[in-house]
Structure 1
Amino acid sequence: MKRLLIVAAGILLICLGLATGSDALQKSSGDTGDKVLNLYNWGDYIDPALIAKFQKETGYHVNVETFDSNEAMYTKVQQGGTSYDITVPSDYMVAKMKQSHLLLPIDKSKLTGMNNYGSAYLNKSFDPGNKYSLPYFWGTLGIIYNDQYIKPGSIKHWNQLWNRKYRDQIMLIDSARDIMGMSLIADGNSVNITNTQQLLSAKNRLVRLSPNVKAIVADEIKMYMADGEAPLAVDWSGEAAEMMSQNSHLHYVVPTEGSNMWFDNLVIPKTAKHFKAIYKFLNFMSQPQNAAQNAEYIGYSTPNTAAYHLLPKATQADQQFYPKDSVLKRLQVYKNLSPQKVEQYNDLYLEFKMHH
């Protein structure tokens, strides 16, 4: 989701054996007779080798168009100009799209891999019973620390970030819902709270954190942490994996009192036309070996338990990305709040940023 490194803005077409360019997507998507699948995905969010494998196995050509935010994807689907067959919204956006009648229900009778998904990753609040979505990847929000400055194993709680000894040492990912959520959890509240007083309390807590905040940044946070620019950061697990691959002194921690658990999901937008291709693709991506290959390429956590058991033992044992059940139970999924509440979250977060 927004947690991703977007390697290409705008449109990326993976057209093996197809004409390139947006015209090819527009043309093919308008004809239900074509053996094509139009996938609308985040940038670099599927192993290209799997696209090639799917095309070879099924004879369906896959057109991939990319987006860089849930909101951009929502707008494009809502406009209905292009017949996308599958797209990949995050948790709260599944609920919003469902509310706006932009999704088609998934016909479970046509699925062959549902048993491969772990129960911990199904039946979430944004889509009870997984009527409209299949989980694609998941992850958490947590704390990254550099063991050259911070004693290994010493960071376990959100509240530790407020310690005065970390003055001007913390980088925060620039995300209103996540940083407000971190403060709400530190206050012992839900990340989906709508009570104005509790939200004000969370904002005031963030203001007290300001002296410790070195910078509030977006994608650059990965580069800064990999280069050892700061001892501490708050960011998503997938971003953390990328930083850690570049700097062996970095570690990722999900605080014991809980955090956000996010999901990206495969859904069928109302624009879909190629239903045979859609179900072939959903079943293909649910196969354990394919899901495992995709997880190794992307670096995020797979909800496919059968695929998890095919991953390298070191990956399976890595509690930073596959936490124990005791930690999983404390993770919270964001709900799709009303536009008024989303605006309130954003406004309070902006007030905190102005203090920084």
Structure 2
Amino acid sequence: MKRFLQLIIISIVVGIICLLISQKFVSKDHSANGEKIYVYNWGEYIDPSLIKKFQKETGIEVVYETFDSNEAMEAKIRNGGTNYDVAFPSEYTVQKLKREQLLLPLNHEKIPNMKNLDQDYMNMSYDRDNKYSIPYFFGTVGILYNKKAYPNDKFDSWQQLFSKKYENDVLLVDGAREIIGLALNKLGYSLNDVNKQHLDKAEKDLNQLSPNVKGVVGDEITMMLEQHEANIAVVWSGVAAPLVQENDDFDYVVPKEGSNLWFDNMVIPKTAQNKDGAYKFINFLLDEQNSKQNTEWVGYATPNKAAREKLPDEVKNDKRFYPSQKEQERLEVYKDLGKETLGEYNERFLNFKMSLK
């Protein structure tokens, strides 16, 4: 009996010691205080080590989810389910979310690192005074091409893509606004055109491009160009930048007729449960060193002026990816065209894709 009691006492003591040890280690874990923020971002759009750094510095656990389209992100925010604290919509989606009162107005005093942002990329038409959104990354839509394959061609016009010499050698990003947009720009119309006659002309014009189109593709564009499966592509600048900067065979051009200037942004949805944590996360990403690290990892152009100054000269001074205010005059930011018109863009783009051989 005595031996039995001793075993019980020993077991209790060991249990207490193990509990104390586990509590000691848990107290050092980033999620020990139970505080979390839910972040909803595009895939591969943040350096994972920065999330770990934020957790370590703040003690706030980051529950991180990704989406592959603005529409998917918008639907999930509207329908609830997960109460995201920070989301990363593009400019026209910011307009939609604002209109439907799904965003919180931002308290700029809680984001002191906003001082690092370049005023050239603030106060845009989709969100005056950045009342609801903070720019995260930005870029353009243009033509990426192999200079060795076409040494005498400049590709400074959308018209160039329609030449018969490029038969079955052009790749297109899988985006209705981008591809209908290039046809609209080629014809001298706005990227935000809602005139049905203009859209008819753009769709008809795209059909003339069909013989040159190798495919409408996604993330594999860079690989296909590197492997010479095609030599020309209509892409976002962030896709072009790493290839152009690492391989002298390639160049990127924004055609003279104009193109898109796009912005992805940080917002706080109205249903956010941890607003203070959201502000801390946004401010953390705007820190100049953190932003520099993130920019180098993601590869897109940063609106963070302080961070950009820390980048290599050949990157920060590259006008192909950091257009000046004057160069921005021929660029347009996408507007929210409304559900009906957006549906029409998508339908016309689908018709075009179905027409490809």
Matched to 2:169, the amino acid is Q
My pick for the range that moved more, 332-341 or 108-117, is: 108-117
- Per the alignment, residue 160 of structure 1 pairs with 160
Instruction: State the secondary structure of the residue aligned to 1:230.
Output: coil
Please give the alpha-carbon distance, in whole angstroms, between the structure 2 residues aligned to 1:212 and 1:45.
31
**Are 1:51 and 2:74 an aligned pair?**
no
Please give the alpha-carbon distance, in whole angstroms, between the structure 1 residues aligned to 2:134 and 2:152.
37
**Are 1:97 and 2:85 an aligned pair?**
no
**Are 1:176 and 2:176 an aligned pair?**
yes
Structure 1 position 46, deviation (Å): 1.1
Structure 1 position 146, deviation (Å): 0.5
**Are 1:273 and 2:276 an aligned pair?**
no
Change (3 A) 1:335 1:243: same
Q: Check whether the contact 1:145–1:250 (CA below 8 A) recurs between aligned residues.
A: yes
Q: Structure 2 matches for 1:203-352, cutoff 5 A? A: 203-244=203-244, 247-352=247-352
Please give the alpha-carbon distance, in whole angstroms, between the structure 1 residues aligned to 2:202 and 2:292.
39
- Per the alignment, residue 5 of structure 1 pairs with none
Q: Check whether the contact 2:168–2:211 (CA below 8 A) recurs between aligned residues.
A: yes
Deviations 1:189-231 (A, max 9, x none): 1100001111111111111111222222222222211211112
Deviations 1:248-282 (A, max 9, x none): 42221111232101111100012212122122222
- Give ranges in structure 1 of 5+ residues lacking alignment: 1-15, 20-27
Structure 1 position 247, deviation (Å): 4.9
Q: Check whether the contact 2:30–2:60 (CA below 8 A) recurs between aligned residues.
A: no
Structure 1 position 333, deviation (Å): 0.7
Q: Structure 2 matches for 1:48-197, cutoff 5 A? A: 48-151=48-151, 154-197=154-197
- Per the alignment, residue 12 of structure 2 pairs with none
Matched to 1:328, the amino acid is Q
Count of equivalent residues? 329
Please give the alpha-carbon distance, in whole angstroms, between the structure 1 residues aligned to 2:141 and 2:117.
22
Structure 1 position 244, deviation (Å): 4.0
Change (3 A) 1:126 1:99: same
Q: Check whether the contact 1:47–1:294 (CA below 8 A) recurs between aligned residues.
A: yes
Please give the alpha-carbon distance, in whole angstroms, between the structure 1 residues aligned to 2:171 and 2:287.
38
Matched to 1:237, the amino acid is S
CA RMSD of aligned residues (A): 2.0
Structure 1 position 181, deviation (Å): 0.4
- Per the alignment, residue 355 of structure 2 pairs with 355
Deviations 1:286-335 (A, max 9, x none): 22111111101100000111211111111112222112333222111110
Q: Check whether the contact 1:169–1:231 (CA below 8 A) recurs between aligned residues.
A: yes
Matched to 2:297, the amino acid is Y
Please give the alpha-carbon distance, in whole angstroms, between the structure 2 residues aligned to 1:116 and 1:326.
22
- Per the alignment, residue 40 of structure 1 pairs with 40
Larger Rg: 2
Q: Check whether the contact 1:225–1:243 (CA below 8 A) recurs between aligned residues.
A: no
Q: Check whether the contact 2:89–2:264 (CA below 8 A) recurs between aligned residues.
A: yes
Matched to 1:230, the amino acid is A
Please give the alpha-carbon distance, in whole angstroms, between the structure 1 residues aligned to 2:116 and 2:147.
37
Instruction: State the secondary structure of the residue aligned to 2:178.
Output: helix
Structure with the higher fraction of residues in helix conformation: 2
Matched to 1:349, the amino acid is F
Structure 1 position 236, deviation (Å): 0.8
Please give the alpha-carbon distance, in whole angstroms, between the structure 2 residues aligned to 1:60 and 1:214.
47
Instruction: State the secondary structure of the residue aligned to 1:268.
Output: coil
- Per the alignment, residue 25 of structure 1 pairs with none
My pick for the range that moved more, 241-250 or 293-302, is: 241-250
Please give the alpha-carbon distance, in whole angstroms, between the structure 1 residues aligned to 2:68 and 2:348.
25
Q: Check whether the contact 2:184–2:202 (CA below 8 A) recurs between aligned residues.
A: yes
- Give ranges in structure 2 of 5+ residues lacking alignment: 1-27
Q: Check whether the contact 1:40–1:64 (CA below 8 A) recurs between aligned residues.
A: yes
Please give the alpha-carbon distance, in whole angstroms, between the structure 2 residues aligned to 1:225 and 1:326.
31
Structure 1 position 341, deviation (Å): 0.7
Matched to 2:207, the amino acid is V
Instruction: State the secondary structure of the residue aligned to 1:303.
Output: coil
My pick for the range that moved more, 240-249 or 259-268, is: 240-249
Instruction: State the secondary structure of the residue aligned to 2:301.
Output: coil
% identical equivalent positions: 48
Q: Check whether the contact 1:96–1:336 (CA below 8 A) recurs between aligned residues.
A: yes
Instruction: State the secondary structure of the residue aligned to 1:46.
Output: coil
Instruction: State the secondary structure of the residue aligned to 1:269.
Output: coil
Structure 1 position 123, deviation (Å): 1.6
My pick for the range that moved more, 56-65 or 223-232, is: 56-65
